[in-house]
A and B are shown apart, each in its own frame.
Chain A
């Protein structure tokens, strides 16, 4: 039966080429727009560390003055002071913990005829690599003792190792950064979580690129006065060079908590710390926060308003395209009232007529989906040439490829419902009488 409907549908679509073309084109445009924007939306709201994002948490406390504080409404600032970060770090209340700030440094070339260049880096503490599952090609991270002693050690990214040492095992070798010698203790495999979640609100870029080029102990960076990318001070600063004591926030604090109980414990620990600081007069707000990684991304609004607006527009557009298809399908089916009348008189049931028209709508949908895929590729090509940081990452993957056809079929079948229902409601007798 299905084969017969298919044959009928194809014949009918062929008979009205222009109308069919219009339907397919309009549906394809709508689908193309939707798939393009949905791909970008999915890319931006993706999980940068799927294997452990539910175990990573971002801790926040609030050292700001009482002024302007509304309990329960004012969110704590994104970064914390050195004093607070060090307390949390040394408390060891989580499985792993790391304080993070971004930096950049001038790296001297290994060969004589090359020029020095600047690279982005991270100043952090020993747990960073285990915390974020950063994979090592050679060597490993540094130790807590290196953190305490401010050792001149460094972990470099694979691409930097490629650039400086041609990809050979460089552990134990020395590189010169900001006119100081550092001993390489580890080389990472390519590692560039998207978005670069640990850099959000530290002054880093969100998307794209190969990731940070170098990682060095926090204390070492402070000893060498490599300022962090972003500093926010909540009090009059007397000595901005002495970041360890300045009333300034510049560190992001990440902790790994294996289960719900640990999370609850840590929350209490954090709240108690804030209360204790208030009692000592160092804080005037006891607000704290402990968001998991995806919650933190939402809080930081990694999906720009523009992208959400574009997605909304695209779905509005698809709605109009579906309406358009409904109208055209309806027009077609009403024109065929006589054909329907004949088929009904010859014994076709209402269900058969309904099925026939739905198959026809489905074919329009599938062809529209195929063409829409082309439009989506075109749209993504356009997105890749946009100035946004995530632009280069916009590609159609298998799930979006399948999703395209789901959208196309659903849209066309919804569009086909009304015309098919109208078609099967045609009474045979008057149609036959008219001629």
Chain B
């Protein structure tokens, strides 16, 4: 295909050609960045939590003040919940990965003389059976033994008295946190400090356990402490069952708890999947909006191409007729308009890539986004070339159907 005649025609329609190029360029820039943003959101929504997500349900009760028998009550509740058909394991937990609600965090240090914390970590607590119930996978060391657990109240009292002996001595970390604290070394047996004076010895490492909130502090920077909590401390009952039985188990568990004490208020009852969905709802919504924007943008650009191409075809009917009369085939005419569009799109894409890069720099500056990976540019280019060809097909076909006889008619 000879390019020269196309270029010389375009030179005669500079303004319209430039408008189209500019439109394609802006679309390319926005679409590249929007697709990148969607990728970021999907990645976030896809973060591994390290627990058996589809098998867990959570129930949180409201309590007022301190019941003397909170511990006994919790034990009774747990025993009753274990009786429910379909329940495999039950435990108490103060928090879950990726979920709203209260959460515990602490400043972890490697040296008691340190002034600045090494990492801000999430503190999972609950009681015996927490890790197996959650389905967190131990990859080194061991779980806590029954004798190592300390009651939450006793731990608070020990803190109050400044008596470190009343506090637990052991801790379990995630692999991610262990790698951050001691790169390339074995974490087992090492000591970490909470604040300046509370030492804990690492006895186990779990493969993964994501923190509830504050993901920017390190998604996997979580610890597990052998502290037994009761439902009165604001903790939840976590029940593990099979994915199919979750709904029935949740209903039965709530009924059972209300039957044990009708005056209790259920604050939270949900499957873990629902909790996680709620946590990432904003990201899902944003990804949805971005998809909408991309579709709308491509549609508008395609319509613009259709409109301009139709106009050009109409304007050049005579020229097309003359060319046909001089021996050009329908295919020649079709290819002429397709090549013209390809050229315009290419100019637009080239300009669009520069714009996309600039837009990304702006977003990096204002929204703490990472750099746009190079792969998005060729993908964006392919999409726009495709859209351009699709949009021009109709008008180009109409052009190829112009009969040669048009050449002989005066307009």
B-to-A contact residues, CB < 8 Å? 15-16, 19-20, 22-23, 26-27, 30, 34, 37, 62, 64-65, 115-116, 156, 159-160, 162, 195-197, 263, 265, 267, 278, 281-282, 285-286, 289-290, 293, 296-297, 299-301, 303-304, 306-308, 310-312, 314-315, 363, 367, 410-411
What sequence of 0s and 1s flags, for each residue 307-324 of chain A, a beta carbon within 8 Å of any chain B beta carbon? 001100110110111011
* CB-CB under 8 A for A179 and B160, given A313-B34, A324-B23, A327-B19: no
CB-based contact A115/B265 at 8 Å? yes
Choose among A26, A106, A305, A306 the residue that contacts B304 (Cβ–Cβ < 8 A): A26
CB-based contact A387/B30 at 8 Å? no
- Closest Cβ of chain B to A201, distance in Å, is 15
Q: How far is the CA of A434 from the CA of B411 in the complex (A)?
A: 9
List of A residues within 8 angstroms of B263 by Cβ: 115-116
A-to-B contact residues, CB < 8 Å? 18-19, 22-23, 25-26, 29-30, 33, 65, 67-68, 105-106, 115-118, 178-179, 225, 236-241, 305-306, 309-310, 313-314, 316-317, 319-321, 323-324, 326-328, 330-332, 334-335, 386-388, 418, 422, 434-435
Q: How far is the CA of A240 from the CA of B286 in the complex (A)?
A: 39
List of A residues within 8 angstroms of B303 by Cβ: 22, 25-26, 324
Interchain Cβ contacts under 8 Å between A and B, 7 examples: A67-B115, A179-B64, A320-B26, A323-B19, A324-B301, A334-B311, A388-B285
CB-based contact A330/B19 at 8 Å? yes
Q: How far is the CA of A331 from the CA of B16 in the complex (A)?
A: 7
CB-based contact A320/B265 at 8 Å? no
- Closest Cβ of chain A to B337, distance in Å, is 15
List of A residues within 8 angstroms of B197 by Cβ: 236
List of B residues within 8 angstroms of A239 by Cβ: 159-160
Across chains A and B, which 5 residue pairs bring their CB atoms closest together, nearest first? A331-B311, A387-B281, A324-B304, A327-B19, A67-B115
- Closest Cβ of chain A to B91, distance in Å, is 24
Choose among B22, B34, B265 the residue that contacts A116 (Cβ–Cβ < 8 A): B265
- Closest Cβ of chain A to B192, distance in Å, is 16
Chain A contact residues: over half helix, strand or loop, or mixed? Answer: helix
Q: How far is the CA of A357 from the CA of B297 in the complex (A)?
A: 27
CB-based contact B20/A327 at 8 Å? yes
Q: How far is the CA of A260 from the CA of B75 in the complex (A)?
A: 61
List of A residues within 8 angstroms of B285 by Cβ: 386-388
Choose among B64, B196, B296, B410 the residue that contacts A105 (Cβ–Cβ < 8 A): B64
Choose among A19, A178, A225, A388 the residue that contacts B307 (Cβ–Cβ < 8 A): A19
Tell me the nearest residue of chain B to A325, going by C-beta: B304
CB-based contact B64/A22 at 8 Å? no
* CB-CB under 8 A for A320 and B23, given A313-B30, A313-B293, A327-B16: yes
CB-based contact A118/B62 at 8 Å? yes
Choose among A105, A238, A323 the residue that contacts B162 (Cβ–Cβ < 8 A): A238
CB-based contact B115/A65 at 8 Å? yes
CB-based contact A317/B306 at 8 Å? no
Choose among B37, B300, B367, B411 the residue that contacts A26 (Cβ–Cβ < 8 A): B300
CB-based contact A387/B265 at 8 Å? no
Choose among A225, A317, A386 the residue that contacts B297 (Cβ–Cβ < 8 A): A317
Q: How far is the CA of A25 from the CA of B306 in the complex (A)?
A: 14
CB-based contact A323/B26 at 8 Å? yes
CB-based contact B300/A324 at 8 Å? yes
List of A residues within 8 angstroms of B410 by Cβ: 435
Tell me the nearest residue of chain B to A322, going by C-beta: B23
List of A residues within 8 angstroms of B116 by Cβ: 67-68
CB-based contact A316/B411 at 8 Å? no
CB-based contact B115/A335 at 8 Å? no
CB-based contact B311/A332 at 8 Å? yes
CB-based contact A33/B64 at 8 Å? no
List of B residues within 8 angstroms of A237 by Cβ: 159
Tell me the nearest residue of chain B to A67, going by C-beta: B115
CB-based contact A309/B16 at 8 Å? no
Tell me the nearest residue of chain A to B362, going by C-beta: A312
* CB-CB under 8 A for A326 and B26, given A239-B160, A305-B367: no
CB-based contact B62/A306 at 8 Å? no
List of B residues within 8 angstroms of A26 by Cβ: 300, 303-304
Q: How far is the CA of A109 from the CA of B275 in the complex (A)?
A: 29
Q: How far is the CA of A237 from the CA of B265 in the complex (A)?
A: 31
CB-based contact A435/B411 at 8 Å? yes
CB-based contact B289/A310 at 8 Å? yes
List of B residues within 8 angstroms of A178 by Cβ: 64-65
Choose among B15, B26, B30, B315 the residue that contacts A418 (Cβ–Cβ < 8 A): B15
Q: How far is the CA of A120 from the CA of B132 in the complex (A)?
A: 35
* CB-CB under 8 A for A335 and B315, given A236-B197, A238-B162, A330-B16: yes
- Closest Cβ of chain A to B311, distance in Å, is 4
Q: Max chain B CB contacts within 10 Å: which of A105, A106, A324?
A: A324
Tell me the nearest residue of chain A to B115, going by C-beta: A67
Q: How far is the CA of A237 from the CA of B311 in the complex (A)?
A: 76
List of A residues within 8 angstroms of B314 by Cβ: 335
Tell me the nearest residue of chain A to B296, going by C-beta: A29
List of B residues within 8 angstroms of A236 by Cβ: 195-197
